[in-house]
Chain A
Amino acid sequence: MTAERGDILKVTDLRTYFPVRSGGFIPRVIGQVKAVDGVSLNIGPGETLGLVGESGSGKTTVARSILLLAHPTSGKIEIDGQDITHLSSAALLPVRRKAQMIFQDPYNALNPRHTVGTIISAPFRIQGVVPPGGVKAAVAEMMERVGLNPEHYNRYPNEFSGGQRQRIGIARAIALRPKLIVCDEPVSALDVSIQAQIVNLLRDLQQEFGISYLFVAHDLAVVRQISHRVAVMYLGKLMEQAPRKTIYTAPLHPYTHSLLSAVPIPDPSLQKRRSRIMLEGDLPSPINPPSGCVFRTRCFQAQERCASEVPPLTEVEPGHLVACHFPVAEPPAAAASTVAAQAD
């Protein structure tokens, strides 16, 4: 991995299971949903790690676990060198200043009964921080910084569009100048034109304040825009992790190949001619995942060995990790290389 020392976020072998209880008068635990099953990540200062995967792959649970919104079953989470996995909520309070979160659905994430001013100034109140010049001035400055009109201080969230609400969420997240912001699908609920604005805003803020991002998304094109490195998740496990360029031009995992081939090309004639990798079936149940490699049930490379042996996440070249017995060495379908070419 690139930045060993001075990592802002270090996640080691994180597992987050949710118990499945039987109904009835005295519920018993009858199984575990293995939402996150042994994920390790690290993010350096000012770096963005994109975390991609389809619905149900556990990427949102990773994001929630890092800020202890979901309780990790095992593993270790370190923020700025401090192990926070088992901290009490009181001991966690100062850590919350360093790590913030931006949420997916801007319609759900703002309390409809609070004004924008109340929402953005809440971090100061809760943390007992008085910024120089007073809270109100700081909030106005923050609103202006994220592209909101400070005159809208007393408005309610329902008076704003989706993009503006996401800006409110961002203003609140950067209020305490955190070192890390976990972005849980921050743009997937927005229009494409608004998506670009928000991604650009996040990039500008990163440059200005040196914030690190964990950027969770299912859209490879968006992740390409903002990430320095990309990690691919499937059914609670990491499949591949590599610098951005490598993921888009020389991926090794069959799952990464299939994800890239699902990215549409904005040229109809190319789109028609390209050969696409179509995955069969649905995501298996995380209550009862397949033996061996969890991806083998839908993998075009799968062989007998995949069912018996779990492929370990191994470093095949510096910074490029893959969990696969039979990696695909050839370059990805034409589409992905076009996408990658646009990126650089």
Chain B
Amino acid sequence: MSRLPSHARRPGAPRAASLGLCALFLLAPARAAGPADAVPSFKALDSVEARVQGCVTCHGQAGQGTDNDYFPRIAGKPAGYLYNQLIAFRDGTRRYPPMNYLVAYLPDAYLREMAQYFASQRPPFAPKEAKPADAKVLARGQQLVTQGDPARQVPACAACHGAALTGMDPGIPGLVGLRPSYIEAQLTRWRVGERHAAEPDCMRRIASRLSETDVSAVAAYMSRQEPPADPSPESSNLVRMPLACGSQR
């Protein structure tokens, strides 16, 4: 195994620094996961860490996200979910050209390994980025997230994505730590049918029953929630799910 130059090894240091900076950022409208985390960095050449350097300028060294407005946090999402997305990007069933291009020629087993790597990461959360919204909108968001809208057969987000929105193994993503812009964009893509999952496609059914203002309200409410102390996903089907979901099989 090759030895890397000494500046390659910077274990923990930036993370500690960014933790310290968090306190400062409570006052300043900036983010903990700053550009420093977007620079390639790893300790050993023959490691998964070195092999996922292709991901880090957008998703951060540990999948915590970066200061870019759009790229999502992927750390701690269930491995099954991340794997399904990587396969969908590779095969073109989820469209986002930069991702489609990067993973186009990677085999299943390797994509699973990458998914497991980021699923096992527990980097600190970036400070919240509250999306401006009035009380009425927030109330609607809270209703949809915690209770759903039975009249329109919309179950609560928390019913599947977990009481603390940390997701559920194996295939339901955590939503904590995602920027409101990302939540809104993805929910909209589900709504209009651009995003799909394995049949029965529960998310497609739910999203198609939401209005544009519902999507915005959900994003605004979620953007105000504190990340839980333990961001691990809930175990599979601990609670009975309101709809059958292909990605949970």
Bind each other: no
Contact surface of A with B, Cβ cutoff 8 Å: none
- B residues neighboring A (CB under 8 Å): none
